[in-house]
Amino acid sequence: MRLIRSLQWLERVILVASFSIMVAAMFLQVVNRNFIHMAMPWLEEIAVYSMIYLVMIGTEMGLRDGTQIRITALVDRFSGRTHAAINLIARAIVLIFAGYMCKASYGIFLQQVHSGQTSAALRIPMWFPYLSFVLAFSIILLAQAAAFIVEIGELVTGKKNDSFTRAFVGTFSDEDSSLTDSSLTEGSDERSSDEAGGGTAVSNGGSSSSHAGCARGSHAGRTQGGDA
């Protein structure tokens, strides 16, 4: 639990810092292009490297809290232990991929460290942008491994570990999700009731109008008959 919270704290720090630096660098680049007209190629490098960290760490966060795009048409056909087993297999595939990418990115990172290559404008070591891959896939590996172990326990015991789910996903828990779903359901039920009530009122109004029209027609007929 403490490991997950530490990883979440590290993610948020990197995301906030990289996003802030990227926005500031791009803003200064626009101002320089339109007003100052000085040679500042290092601004573009700062924006690009910040975006790399933003994308890589954001990928892990989206994978962890379930906001990544998923095609669940087949999985949703199952329920119970079958559904949990399929999710466990998917988690295992993610673990294998994350482990492979973590090893491969670490190898590329070491090559850049030994080569001593630097960037063209900032002259910073090129291992710095490659470090984002190592960090992202390492966090993915640790977080998904913890979730994999917990899901195995849930599959065996048949009980859901809600405390781990809340810590793993973050501030948005399953309880909050159920409350949101119930409020949306209640809102839709109220709208349906209002619409049904409005339709009934319209029908009653139409029926009253029809009866009034028939009454006027009958009265006019009787009046014409009397005149005849």
Encode pLDDT of 89-120 as tens digits: 999 999 999 999 999 999 999 999 999 999 99
Alpha helices in the chain (DSSP H): 2-31, 41-65, 80-115, 127-157, 162-169, 174-227
Residue 191, pLDDT > 90, answer: no
Q: Go through the chain and tell me how many residues it has.
A: 228
| Longest CA span, the chain | 117
Each domain of the chain, given as residue ranges in start order, spans 2-173
Indicate the angle between helix axes 162-169 and 174-227, nearest 10 degrees. Answer: 90
**Looking at per-residue confidence, does 151 or 167 come out higher?**
151
Is the pLDDT assigned to residue 133 strictly greater than 80? Answer: yes
State yes or no: pLDDT of 77 exceeds 80. yes
